Structure 1
Amino acid sequence: MPPVPVKGVGTKTAPRRAGRPPRALLGHAQITRAALRLVTRDGYKALTMSGLAKSLNVAPSALYNHVSSKQDVLLLVEDALMGRVDVSAFTERPWEEAVRLWAHSYRDVFSAHLPLIPVIALLPVTNAPQTITMYEAVTDGFLRAGWPQERIINAIVALESFVFGSAYDVNAPGDIFATGELEDAAPHFTAAVARRGNPAGHNDADAAFALGLDAMVAGLAATLASATR
């Protein structure tokens, strides 16, 4: 009986077929990262299904296996960004401090993604798990601070409106209030701009945000006090 050939001894293995290694499976995480990169680089108008598919080096049909529309992509993006907002202070700190830390984190996340603010500010939170988790933590913090349930969402929306506007201010040019040749027409404004002073270590955007946030928190605290008398 002839000897049984042993792999590697007197035999040759079949050569590996040429071609690229298998592509990593496309999924929501890859789609979300690609969408964020696309918007950051080229602006919101660049976020189309065909443009997103091209950036992922896949056919549009492959993309539609995971998301059914641009709205679905935006929901993924919204959820990813909201998941970066730190809400941990609502379980660890007093309410006023927690609101400040949450607002600072919220502003930092969205100041890095300005093109998405007009979209996400109007996007429903339906079926966005991380977004819902964020709002649940904030709402729970308000409830534990004694807020009447019927006033909580209005307070959150008021804070969010301030946060989104402040995110734009982070990216404003340093000379945004320069009056130029109209200096004589606005002497008081021009002088106030020239004398603008900030606490040590604060730039203009940070100082304005801190002042506004302090005022909002104080106003909300007064509202809470009057509501619980």
Structure 2
Amino acid sequence: MTLDRDLIVRTALRLLDDVGLEKLSLRRLAKELDVHATALYWHFASKQELLDAMGRAMVQQVVAEGPLPRTWQEWLAHLARAQRQAVRSHRDGALLMMTARPTAEHQVEYLDQLVGRLLEAGFTAESAAAAFIAVSNFAIGAAFAEQQGRDLGEEALDDLILRSGEHPGVSGIVAAAQDLDATFERGLAWLLAGMRAELG
């Protein structure tokens, strides 16, 4: 078996699913690959560099899937859905994305086209960048909340449901938590509507 960056990243993502980000170490990864830990440093200068590569690999395929969107709203919606899907595809995926440095090397062409479409629609360079960041933060933040909620387990959810009977204002939140996809889509629609309103 030839050790290369792609194999290391794929193995690291599989290990992430098994043990979680906190327990993911270069020593554990080296053992999984049946190599000495120092062999990994021929390919990655540090654990942070490996985490960066894992974050890129996690979203690269999903973002590239399907035909490119047409309108600026479709671009931003596609970005949000792809990022959420990618993050949810791995255990602690949101934590990984928050830890990985946002180099976005895999997305350069995609992001250039996205920003170009925003500029054509009337966004300034500054507001186009802010729109990208806002949508990314929303998608990754939503996925993080979903993963954290899933980790709490059914017992915590059952307790919240019981308490919602004592506090009617909470019952709507509990109901929204039962359909995460619909709640995500509504939040995304509100975000895009705010951008449309600002454009006039």
TM-score bucket of the superposed structures, by smaller chain: 0.7 to 0.9
Cα-to-partner distance string for 1:62-114 (whole Å, 9 max, x where unaligned): 21211121011112102112312325779541111222222112111111225
Query: Relative contact order, CA 8 A, sep 6+: which one is greater?
Result: 2
Question: Aligned to 1:58, what secondary structure does the other structure show?
Answer: coil
Structure 2 partner of 1:70: 47
Structure 2 partner of 1:214: 189
**Structure 2-normalised TM-score?**
0.82
Q: CA deviation at 1:134?
A: 4.2
| Structure 1: stretches of 5+ with no match in the other structure | 1-23
What is the distance in 1 between the residues matched to 2:197 and 2:33? 51
Q: CA deviation at 1:125?
A: 3.0
What is the distance in 1 between the residues matched to 2:66 and 2:187? 20
Aligned positions, number: 195
What is the distance in 1 between the residues matched to 2:83 and 2:173? 27
What is the distance in 1 between the residues matched to 2:115 and 2:21? 30
Structure 1 partner of 2:139: 163
Amino acid at match of 2:85: D
Q: CA deviation at 1:220?
A: 1.1
Question: Aligned to 1:176, what secondary structure does the other structure show?
Answer: helix
Structure 2 partner of 1:97: 74
Structure 1 partner of 2:169: 188
Q: CA RMSD in A?
A: 2.8
Q: CA deviation at 1:61?
A: 2.1
Identity among equivalent positions (%) equals: 27
What is the distance in 2 between the residues matched to 1:179 and 1:41? 29
| Structure 2: stretches of 5+ with no match in the other structure | none
* Higher relative helix content: 2
Structure 2 partner of 1:9: none
Amino acid at match of 1:152: A
Are 2:191 and 1:223 aligned?
Answer: no
Give 1:130's match in structure 2, choosing from 106, 109, 119.
106
**Structure 1-normalised TM-score?**
0.73
Q: Is the 8 A contact 2:16 2:91 kept in 1?
A: no
Residue 193 to residue 151, structure 1, CA distance change in 2 (3 Å): closer
Q: Is the 8 A contact 2:59 2:87 kept in 1?
A: no
What is the distance in 1 between the residues matched to 2:99 and 2:120? 28
Q: Is the 8 A contact 2:12 2:29 kept in 1?
A: yes
Are 2:122 and 1:146 aligned?
Answer: yes
